[in-house]
A and B are shown apart, each in its own frame.
Chain A
Amino acid sequence: MKQGRTSFADLIYHGGDIITMDEGNPAAEAVAIKDGTILAVGSKQDVLNLQGPATRVIDLGGQTLLPAFIDGHSHFFQAAMIADYANISAPPVGKARSIGGIIAILKEHFTQRRLPPGEWLIGYGYDGSALSDGRDATRDDLDPFFPRNPVVLVHVSGHGCVLNSAAFRAVGIDSSTPTPQGGVTVRKPGSNEPAGLLMENSMFPILLALPKPSPQLLLEHLTIAQQMYASNGYTTVQDAPVEPKVMPLYERAAAEGRLFLDLVGYWESHEFLATAKPCADYLSLQSHRYRMAGVKVIADGSPQGRTAFFTRPYLTGGPGGEEKWRGDPVVPPEHLNAVVKQAYESKVQVLVHCNGDAAIDMLLDAHKAAGAPDGRRTTVIHSQFVRRDQLALYVKYGINASFFTNHAYFWGDLHVKNLGKERAHFLSPMKTARALGLHMTNHSDFLVTPLDPLFILWTAVNRTSRSGQVIGPDERVSVLDGLKALTIDGAYQYFEESRKGSIEVGKLADLVILTANPLKVDVATIKDIKVTETIKEGKTVFQGTS
Chain B
Amino acid sequence: MTRKIAAIPLTILGGYLGAGKTTLLNALLGGDHGLRLAILVNDFGRINIDADLIASHGGDTVSLTNGCVCCSMGDNLAMTLLELAGRTAPPDHIVIEASGVADPRRVAFYGSAHPRLQLNAVMVVADAETLRLRLKDPYVGELVLRQLDSADLILLSKLDLLDDTERAAAHKFVREVVPQARIVEAVRGRVPPDLLLGMASTRAPACSPDRVLLQPLSHVPSTEHADRFARWSFVSERPFDRERLRATIESLPPSVLRAKGVLYLNGDRAHSFILQLVGRRWTLEAGNLSGEEDRLSRLVVIGPTESLDRSRLTDAFHGALVDGGRSRASRVCDVHGQGER
Chain A residues within 8 Å of B, Cβ to Cβ? 178, 180-182, 201, 204-205, 207-208, 243, 270, 274, 320, 326, 328-335, 358, 361-362
Contact = CB atoms under 8 A, between A and B. Distances in A.
A495 B191 CA distance: 53
**10 closest pairs, A vs B, by CB?**
A181-B112, A328-B143, A332-B17, A201-B113, A182-B112, A332-B100, A333-B139, A204-B113, A208-B82, A332-B101
B179 interface: no
Contact of B16 (A178, A204, A332): A332
B114 interface: yes
Greatest chain A CB density within 10 A among B45, B83, B103, B113 is at: B113
Contacts of A329: 101, 139-140, 143
Contacts of B78: 204, 207
Nearest to A182: B112
B113 A332 contact: no
B17 A180 contact: no
Nearest to A322: B146
A201 B100 CA distance: 24
21 contacts: A178-B115, A180-B112, A182-B113, A201-B109, A204-B78, A204-B114, A207-B79, A207-B82, A208-B82, A243-B75, A274-B45, A328-B103, A328-B142, A329-B139, A330-B101, A332-B16, A332-B17, A332-B140, A333-B139, A333-B140, A362-B139
Contacts of A201: 109, 112-113
A331 B143 CA distance: 11
A209 to B, nearest CB: 10
Contacts, number: 55
A334 B103 CA distance: 18
B101 A328 contact: yes
A180 B86 CA distance: 15
User: In the complex, which range does the number of interface residues on chain B fall in?
Assistant: 20 to 34
Contacts of A178: 115
A358 B139 contact: yes
A385 B82 CA distance: 37
A361 B140 CA distance: 13
A243 B86 CA distance: 26
Nearest to B42: A270
Contacts of A205: 82
Interface in B1-59: 16-17, 42-43, 45
Contacts of A334: 17
B71 to A, nearest CB: 15
Contacts of B139: 329, 333, 358, 361-362
Nearest to A311: B138
A496 to B, nearest CB: 30
Contacts of A208: 79, 82-83, 86
A320 B149 CA distance: 15
A29 B48 CA distance: 67
A171 to B, nearest CB: 12
B113 A180 contact: yes
A180 B112 CA distance: 6
Nearest to B139: A333
A81 to B, nearest CB: 14
Contacts of B103: 328
Greatest chain B CB density within 10 A among A332, A333, A335, A361 is at: A332
B43 A274 contact: yes
Nearest to B86: A208
Contacts of A326: 142
A332 B21 CA distance: 15
A326 to B, nearest CB: 8
Given A204-B82, A208-B82, A358-B139, A180 B16 contact: no
Nearest to A358: B139
Contacts of A204: 78, 82, 113-114
Contacts of A320: 106
A268 to B, nearest CB: 9
Contacts of B112: 180-182, 201
A345 B140 CA distance: 26
Interface in B129-144: 137, 139-140, 142-143
A270 B100 CA distance: 13
B271 to A, nearest CB: 21
Given A201-B109, A243-B75, 10 more contacts: A180-B115, A182-B109, A182-B113, A207-B78, A207-B79, A207-B82, A208-B82, A208-B83, A334-B17, A335-B17
Interface string B250-293: 00000000000000000000000000000000000000000000
Interface in B107-122: 109, 112-115
A178 B78 CA distance: 18
A326 B142 CA distance: 10
